[in-house]
Structure 1
Amino acid sequence: MREGTAPLIRREDYTAPAFWIRTVDLTFDLDPAKTLVINKMAVERNPDQPGASLRLDGEDINLTRVLVDGEPVSFRVENQQLVLDNLPDQPFALEIRTTCAPGKNTQLSGLYTSGGGFFTQCEALGFRRITYFLDRPDVMSVYKVTLKADKLKYPVLLSNGNLVEQGAIDADRHYAVWEDPHPKPCYLFALVAADLVSREQRVRTRLGKEHLLQIFVRAGDLDKTEHAMQSLMASISWDEIRFGLSLDLERFMIVAVSDFNMGAMENKGLNIFNTKFVLANPATATDVDFGNVESVVAHEYFHNWTGNRVTCRDWFQLSLKEGLTVFRDQQFSQDMAGSASARAVKRIEDVRTLRQLQFPEDAGPMAHPVRPDSYMAIDNFYTATVYEKGAEVVRMMHTLVGEAGFAEGMKLYFQRHDGHAVTCDDFAQAIADANPESELTKRLDQFKHWYTQAGTPRVQARGSYSAEHKTYTLHLSQNCAPTAGQPAKLPFVIPVAMGLVAHDGRNLNLHLEGEALPIGTDTVLVLSEPEQTFTFVHVPVEPVPSLLRGFSAPVVLQAELGDDALFTLLTHDKDPFNRWEAAQRLALRRLLQAVSGHGPAELDPRFIQALRGVLRNAELDAAFKELVLTLPSEAYVAEQLDTVDPQRIHTARESLKLQLAKALHEDWIWAWEQHNDCGAYSPDPVSSGRRALANLALSMLCLDGATRHNPIWTGKAFQRFKDANNMTDRLGALGALVNSHADLAPDALSRFHEQFRDEPLVIDKWFTLQAAAPEKDGKVFARAKALMQHPDFTLRTPNRARSLLMALCQMNPAAFHRPDAAGYVFWADRVIEIDSINPQLAARLARALDHWRRLAEPYRTAAREALGRVMAKPDLSDDVREIVTRALQD
């Protein structure tokens, strides 16, 4: 839609459809220029809406015929809907014939071509670009699909469900018939027709049934699919053991495609993935890539039950499937990590993502509840709030009812709602009903404020110790800042996992006043009022409170802890998350002092010594050390400030990072020497952690060497770059050169490109590394802008566009926010250019200026002008228009 014609959709206006579509029989005659789609449906009227017209959604398709019970009928098309009046009250057959041009579909929504094959993406509203339909998630139908295509060009023909028939049509063409026995909404429909090869594996589930697993990729990529297959098998096993949920089709298929707007899609039995989250081998993928493949494969498989078997009633309930499934994939990844320390590292990484993506969203113009109240373009609400914060809401339920109670709640959820389209309320009610005595059930209505209220709550904590009475009193209070349309917030239910730590390192036993017995060294306090006080008795010494252990709620904790207390937690807290958090707070405190100019811009010896203690601690895992020794990001620092000067933040962070590189020089050498050789490559947590710490040490040594004009470590990094036996170490060494602006960096970049020029995902890394490098004298911005003209760059492949533009505009504040406004001019040009090709991609880039109002001058005025220029474009898509409109609203 153009010209801002899309209406505002409101959750409160939901009504059930006027008709149900019980079965769908689709026939595709596939041709890039003109694909014929024959859609035969069994339709029946909703008796609650007698006399209503049938309105079917459609977009960019050509209608050729409409039949009701085999006879032509009159119809009209208005507002991109096919309208049929005077339909019978009894069930009837509806046939619609349309054509579309997949080869011209640059939006990558609906049916499109990529690399000579056909692929689909129907979530959220892509099915209407294939055929006229009731394109909404509460219309669930049983599908039969017939695919016809050239057998030489498209030897593989896939759709949802089970293959029931295939064969030749003539000498040049063939067909395949697929049936999915499970009712599903149209957003879960998928087809693939392409020249692909597959990795296959047969597995037997705990129910004793055998299933065929297939991963389809382009020829030449088969050697990069083993990890994805292992991840899929692990996911199937984990879901059976943890929740008793088994695979329910004869086969489960994954297809990798280069051109894809999202990470992956959970279409029933036929998951279509961005190649980025399928392909991985040591030569081309990093440890992070291996972890992402495992996580995303698990996520999409878990959707088979939490999203497919039980789906959303409407798109406002998107977190019903996404928040729950993110929680499930996070739990899976922690279980796959194994050790307690590796599990903690995974949790820290998830929280860091939440803070970097979702907390800023809550504080900006796109702030919305986990269950939004309205939208113009639903594609804009595939957000960190719906996904990551939604997962934290589910995690709080898990905390409040316990692991066994949560499993019972999931069991009840499927008993009640399998095969239905339901709401977030239905899920919460099932968890509560299965645990009638839980804290969740006692406060269920209040707990649902997490679904209805936007913003990040702030929890203030203040403690006092009475040596005379041996009591420790903890006062907690909560508040949440106003957001658009929500000037006042009701109190949330906030589980606060906590403990008390003595300054000598003891984790103290907890005994709440009024309770008969102590409760161990951990407990969960439930903050449900604006203010509450908790008193602990029999506390032998003044303690340091360790609050929000494991990050038990998605809140900002404001605790009155001085450096002494934070150093105690960093050194002694048994909760790994809070040890890391203490280090982050200490570092953040020093960064903010440097940015504001209200304190020294130098790191104090105590802080440096504490980090040295972590680095040299033989009992800590290398992965944990790497997290602790990494300073908070520039974006996270900016979130703590009312007025943001990106250049001051960049200068302060780079200064402190350099100080850390110099002060710990000998320690970095030790870390490098102790961790740089992991032997044969394995992506396991221990090996990955060793590589992460070694590469951090190498980057710090190169940074220190560059300022001393000492080429020793840049030379070692260059040699490491050439000799590395895996992509993690090769890219780590290249990053050390590029980020320190070493003289050897251009040669290394050229060698890297030459070596991997035929590996698209690796070349994506090459673009990102250059665009995300620390800015120095405008060189990074100039380089990123020049890369737009590189022969390998294109805006039509989302991965490639993201690799450069998102890296510059969203990952590199100092390069993007320039005093001369060149970054904003570049951004506006790209948003406008991409919007004419792929509105979803353009809308994601548009969000780079969500927080323009908090910028200091001259950035604020220049950013406002850039937003205005985008808004003035007359044929702006609804996706981008909604983002920019929200940003400009007072």
Structure 2
Amino acid sequence: MRTDTGHVFKLEDYRPSDYLIPRTSLDFRLSPDATRVTAVLTIERREDVAASAPLVLDGDGLTLLGVAVDGQALAPAEYQATPDQLTIPKPPAAQRFELRLETEIAPSSNEALMGLYRSNNVYCTQCEAEGFRRITYFLDRPDILSVYTVRIEAPHNEAPLLLSNGNPVESGALADGRHYAVWHDPFPKPSYLFALVAGALGKVAGSFTTLSGREVELGIYVEPGKEGLAGYAMDALKRSMKWDEQAFGREYDLDVFNIVAVSDFNMGAMENKGLNIFNDKYVLADEETATDADFANIEAIIAHEYFHNWTGNRITCRDWFQLCLKEGLTVYRDHEFSADQRSRAVKRIAEVRTLRAHQFPEDQGPLAHPVRPRRYREINNFYTATVYEKGSEVVRMIRTILGPQTFRAGMDLYFERHDGEAATIEDFLKVFEDVSGRDLAQFALWYHQAGTPNLTVSSSYNAAAKTFTLEIEQSVPPTPSESRKRLMHIPLAFGLVGAGGKPVAWTAVDGAAVEDGVIHVRKRRHTVRFSGVSERPSVSLNRGFSAPVTLSVQQKADDQFFLASDDSDSFSRWQAFNTLLTDALIAAFRQVLGGKEPASAARLAELAGRIAGDETLEPAYRALALSLPGEADIARDIGKGIDPDAIFAAREALARTIAAANREVFWALYDSLADKGPFTPDAASAGRRALRNILLDYLSLLPEGTALAAAHFRAATNMTDRAAALTVLAHRHAGSPQAEEALATFEARYRGDALVLDKWFQIQAGVPGAQTVDKVRTLMQHPAFSIANPNRVRSLIGAFSSANQTGFHRADGQGYRFFAETVLEVEKRNPQVAARLATAMRSWRSLEPIRQDKARQALLQIANAENLSADLRDIVERTLA
């Protein structure tokens, strides 16, 4: 584990390396405690670099056994080696030479899960972002592209399966029960995409015929006995391959494509060329063990990692500042895939909810950074919602501005122009400028400037002149290191809505560029005047969430209720209702901290009933509409002086009002939605279950709610319904005999399944109230919990700190103190996981003063710990700044 060096990397300091490594040969002699790695690197000096330039390679905790150049061993005086760096002060004068390195590493003791490690007797690698340097000394940076040939040797009885990137070349038996396999990847790639897996795993085999008729062998490897849980992942992979051919013209390029599922993994998955490595949470699923949300996540993440084959692998990023070039773009691609596979309207709402829950708070807090950061101290801490989710929204805005045909032409040119290169954001934007003839310089600020823009909008209607006027003003709030902001190009989709939800016609407009239903906001203030408007319209803004902005709209409540009932744009209809709910909850919070029902509660309840029963809306959409804004969402919109207990009280009061007002409607609909056939994970079936389970949540607030939830739990035939009922019992009726019985029954049934027990941990970590911190302490002693396993830590500690507003923000500070202790304990093994946990404290300054002080003390407790890792110190110091 590297402790903090204090070094800050800056975008403006980038320069190409003096040397390249066009070919890399690796030989692994696997052993749990002493794996021998022999690397033969073809080193090539750039033509403009002096022969006297030293060769400096990256390492991380390595044990060097030997160094040779062009077959001649170097004397100790001819190189300088530390565990973290190898320097050859006077390399050969030849333009190209061969460097041979031998290192020894210990996979079994690698609890950081970076580089080569061993998980449940399976050897596995994770090299993004800088894990390859834990395997051998290398120019470990994204712009060093190399063709890899890999030989792996191991005892056959311990590791019958030997996998790496590319295509298999040869394999065979050796003496003493050992065997070997050789893999070759013909496509140059950076070291972060290197992968190796070795062990005893079961295989689910498949095949795919590409657009040009090539047959690709597919394999998904899982723990033996779990092959039956990988069928949905295989189906999702084939659909992803077909979709990428149709939507982007991208055909797979190797003879094989393999996925391996492992139980110890820091991330969700990794796109290594031809050998994707997955957290088993995002591969294994059936109706007994996985919820509908799990199936949707598997589909999306399988697609995401596969789509990286072109947006990330064939075209990679020049440096880590360009991370959004592969991640934001690929998130956009997987969002589009899921929208085509499921419901575009429902998927869009879900995307925006995620963005607001995770990225908006990032933009509003001390961890704010541009989509393309300009500096970092630890790159692992920039795998953020801003890079991924906001990065995706920026790509979506390019499509909105240019239109689908021109956007596709730009993507085609991007693939043609930069295939096999390490590219930059400037390269990406240039292809769209070239195909469209547009200047995207102002738009590029979305990549370079942090913060969520706000649009303040007012409107007026002149009946005599038949004109409708919008006054639009944009502002971007200051963020750390950026107090002055430049004006953005914001594509604001809109609609003028009249009686019955029909569009109101207009004949002309002046004051701003308006194209295809989009107002292009480029100045600080715009006056947009529509003429020929025969009736006063309600204005529907940011349709489809055309830009990741906040809106301050001076609009009558009647207009909001009208749009929530009648807007023809499905996203804007949801948005109108969600805004009404949020405004009501904020008003309730402010009225003696949640002690008073909002004035609009009865009207909202009536509208909720109408939405629930509206058969013209798909069930999944209705489920999302009926889901109240989360406590963290409400806190974000309030901004300052947050009392989580008061927010919880306000939210519960409104939920009870809605439930009581719609008792008969909700009961009848709940009964009608019961599954009548075998389980299927398709979107329509999942939507019906989602709606039924949100109705269960409301009905559980009624006097007979405990009995209903208990009956729902007992009758459940799938994990979606079982987990939903358990959540209702544990959260709404904590401590009741029914809740305790259900928790015990669930634990006994799934005692041997770690992934399902993660749900059990997570549900209990989310129980509202001050008592939960003590429960979480107790659960850490459960035999199924392991502080060394990222999934277990995220399910319990992560869920408690990020999703339990009343428990984590307990008034006496016990939640913060427990959290600080636990983060430091996790950090001893895995700095990456600890740093990501610590981001739960990013909004501490928005709390009321007493909680704020206690949160600060907990952060200082972490910051003052000795030998803090670079990962964790970076997050804590930025959070405290």
Per the shorter chain, which TM-score range? over 0.9
Question: What residue in structure 1 maps to residue 831 of structure 2?
Answer: 839
Assess if the C-alpha contact under 8 Å between 2:167 and 2:184 holds in 1: yes
Distance in 1 between residues matched to 2:150 and 2:508, nearest whole Å: 63
CA shift for structure 1 position 247: 0.4
Map Cα deviations across residues 751-808 of structure 1 (whole Å, 9 max, x no partner). Answer: 1111111111100001001111232xx2323222211111111111100110000110
Assess if the C-alpha contact under 8 Å between 1:239 and 1:302 holds in 2: yes
Match of 1:458 among 440, 444, 454: 454
Residue 610 (str. 1) matches residue 607 (str. 2): yes
Residue 187 (str. 1) matches residue 183 (str. 2): no
Question: What residue in structure 2 maps to residue 381 of structure 1?
Answer: 382
Structure 2 counterpart SS, 1:810? helix
Question: What residue in structure 2 maps to residue 405 of structure 1?
Answer: 406
Match of 2:329 among 314, 324, 327: 324
Map Cα deviations across residues 360-393 of structure 1 (whole Å, 9 max, x no partner). Answer: 0001111000000111110000000000000000
Question: What residue in structure 1 maps to residue 655 of structure 2?
Answer: 657
Query: Runs of 4+ in structure 1 displaced over 3 angstroms?
Result: none
Question: Residue 500 and residue 378 in structure 1: after superposition, are their counterparts in 2 closer, same or farther (change >3 A)?
Answer: same
Question: What residue in structure 2 maps to residue 750 of structure 1?
Answer: 744
Residue identity matched to 2:483: P
CA shift for structure 1 position 403: 1.2
Map Cα deviations across residues 124-182 of structure 1 (whole Å, 9 max, x no partner). Answer: 00000000000000000000000000101111100000001001012411000000000
Of residues 501-510 and 490-499 in structure 1, the stretch that sits farther from structure 2 once superposed is 501-510
1:669-688 residue pairs with structure 2 within 5 A?
Answer: 669-688=667-686
1:459-498 residue pairs with structure 2 within 5 A?
Answer: 459-498=455-494
**Unaligned ranges ≥5, structure 2:** none
Match of 2:691 among 686, 690, 693: 693
Of residues 672-681 and 249-258 in structure 1, the stretch that sits farther from structure 2 once superposed is 672-681
Of residues 536-545 and 657-666 in structure 1, the stretch that sits farther from structure 2 once superposed is 657-666
Assess if the C-alpha contact under 8 Å between 2:63 and 2:83 holds in 1: no
Assess if the C-alpha contact under 8 Å between 1:507 and 1:573 holds in 2: no
Distance in 2 between residues matched to 1:664 and 1:195, nearest whole Å: 55
Question: What residue in structure 2 maps to residue 392 of structure 1?
Answer: 393
Assess if the C-alpha contact under 8 Å between 1:24 and 1:142 holds in 2: yes
Match of 2:87 among 79, 83, 97: 83
Assess if the C-alpha contact under 8 Å between 1:854 and 1:860 holds in 2: yes
Q: Between Structure 1 and Structure 2, how many residues are aligned?
A: 869
**Unaligned ranges ≥5, structure 1:** none
Match of 1:315 among 317, 320, 336: 320
CA shift for structure 1 position 823: 0.3
Map Cα deviations across residues 568-597 of structure 1 (whole Å, 9 max, x no partner). Answer: 101110111111111111111110011111
Question: Residue 367 and residue 678 in structure 1: after superposition, are their counterparts in 2 closer, same or farther (change >3 A)?
Answer: farther
Residue identity matched to 2:747: H
Structure 2 counterpart SS, 1:704? coil
Distance in 2 between residues matched to 1:604 and 1:63, nearest whole Å: 69
Structure 2 counterpart SS, 1:826? helix
Question: What residue in structure 1 maps to residue 797 of structure 2?
Answer: 805
Question: Residue 280 and residue 759 in structure 1: after superposition, are their counterparts in 2 closer, same or farther (change >3 A)?
Answer: same
Residue identity matched to 1:833: E
Of residues 524-533 and 312-321 in structure 1, the stretch that sits farther from structure 2 once superposed is 524-533
Distance in 2 between residues matched to 1:505 and 1:402, nearest whole Å: 25
Question: What residue in structure 1 maps to residue 701 of structure 2?
Answer: 703
Map Cα deviations across residues 649-689 of structure 1 (whole Å, 9 max, x no partner). Answer: 11211222222222222222122111122521111121111
RMSD of aligned alpha carbons = 1.5
Residue 640 (str. 1) matches residue 637 (str. 2): yes
Structure 2 counterpart SS, 1:632? coil
Distance in 2 between residues matched to 1:308 and 1:52, nearest whole Å: 30
Distance in 1 between residues matched to 2:501 and 2:18, nearest whole Å: 65
Distance in 2 between residues matched to 1:638 and 1:40, nearest whole Å: 55
Residue identity matched to 1:763: L
CA shift for structure 1 position 716: 3.5
CA shift for structure 1 position 729: 1.0
Residue 553 (str. 1) matches residue 547 (str. 2): yes
Match of 2:116 among 111, 131, 134: 111
CA shift for structure 1 position 718: 2.2
1:1-80 residue pairs with structure 2 within 5 A?
Answer: 2-50=2-50, 51-73=52-74, 74-77=78-81, 80=84
Structure 1 counterpart SS, 2:186? strand
Question: What residue in structure 2 maps to residue 446 of structure 1?
Answer: 442
CA shift for structure 1 position 857: 2.2
Residue identity matched to 1:414: F
CA shift for structure 1 position 699: 1.9
CA shift for structure 1 position 81: 1.1
Question: Residue 518 and residue 589 in structure 1: after superposition, are their counterparts in 2 closer, same or farther (change >3 A)?
Answer: closer
Residue identity matched to 2:416: Q
Structure 2 counterpart SS, 1:298? helix
Of residues 426-435 and 46-55 in structure 1, the stretch that sits farther from structure 2 once superposed is 46-55
Residue identity matched to 1:722: R
Question: What residue in structure 2 maps to residue 364 of structure 1?
Answer: 365
Residue identity matched to 1:809: S
Distance in 1 between residues matched to 2:698 and 2:533, nearest whole Å: 43
Map Cα deviations across residues 501-547 of structure 1 (whole Å, 9 max, x no partner). Answer: 114432212433269x998xx60111011111221111111111101
Distance in 2 between residues matched to 1:48 and 1:511, nearest whole Å: 62
Structure 2 counterpart SS, 1:254? strand
Map Cα deviations across residues 397-454 of structure 1 (whole Å, 9 max, x no partner). Answer: 0111111111110110011110000101111111221122xxxx23x11111001100
Residue 626 (str. 1) matches residue 627 (str. 2): no
Question: What residue in structure 2 maps to residue 507 of structure 1?
Answer: 503
Question: What residue in structure 2 maps to residue 289 of structure 1?
Answer: 294
Question: What residue in structure 2 maps to residue 125 of structure 1?
Answer: 130
Structure 2 counterpart SS, 1:508? coil
Of residues 1-10 and 273-282 in structure 1, the stretch that sits farther from structure 2 once superposed is 1-10
TM-score norm. by structure 1 comes to 0.96
Residue 880 (str. 1) matches residue 878 (str. 2): no
Distance in 2 between residues matched to 1:302 and 1:97, nearest whole Å: 35
Of residues 505-514 and 344-353 in structure 1, the stretch that sits farther from structure 2 once superposed is 505-514
Distance in 2 between residues matched to 1:770 and 1:380, nearest whole Å: 28
CA shift for structure 1 position 557: 1.2
Structure 1 counterpart SS, 2:472? strand
Residue identity matched to 1:349: A
Distance in 2 between residues matched to 1:171 and 1:81, nearest whole Å: 35
Distance in 2 between residues matched to 1:83 and 1:514, nearest whole Å: 65
CA shift for structure 1 position 221: 1.0
Question: Residue 595 and residue 630 in structure 1: after superposition, are their counterparts in 2 closer, same or farther (change >3 A)?
Answer: same
Question: What residue in structure 1 maps to residue 434 of structure 2?
Answer: 433
Structure 2 counterpart SS, 1:284? coil
Distance in 1 between residues matched to 2:278 and 2:23, nearest whole Å: 27
Structure 2 counterpart SS, 1:513? strand
Structure 1 counterpart SS, 2:436? coil
Map Cα deviations across residues 793-839 of structure 1 (whole Å, 9 max, x no partner). Answer: 11111001100001101111111001111001101101111111100
Distance in 2 between residues matched to 1:424 and 1:526, nearest whole Å: 22
Question: What residue in structure 2 maps to residue 788 of structure 1?
Answer: 780
Match of 1:235 among 235, 240, 244: 240
Map Cα deviations across residues 336-376 of structure 1 (whole Å, 9 max, x no partner). Answer: 11xxxx21000000000000000000011110000001111
Map Cα deviations across residues 78-122 of structure 1 (whole Å, 9 max, x no partner). Answer: 582111111124200000000000000000000000001100000
Match of 1:258 among 260, 263, 280: 263
Structure 1 counterpart SS, 2:803? coil
Residue identity matched to 2:10: R
Assess if the C-alpha contact under 8 Å between 1:510 and 1:518 holds in 2: no
Assess if the C-alpha contact under 8 Å between 1:471 and 1:539 holds in 2: yes
Structure 2 counterpart SS, 1:20? strand
Of residues 294-303 and 51-60 in structure 1, the stretch that sits farther from structure 2 once superposed is 51-60
1:170-185 residue pairs with structure 2 within 5 A?
Answer: 170-185=175-190
Assess if the C-alpha contact under 8 Å between 2:504 and 2:535 holds in 1: no
Distance in 2 between residues matched to 1:210 and 1:405, nearest whole Å: 32
Distance in 2 between residues matched to 1:717 and 1:635, nearest whole Å: 25
Structure 2 counterpart SS, 1:703? coil
Distance in 2 between residues matched to 1:223 and 1:573, nearest whole Å: 45
Question: What residue in structure 2 maps to residue 738 of structure 1?
Answer: 730
Residue identity matched to 2:86: L
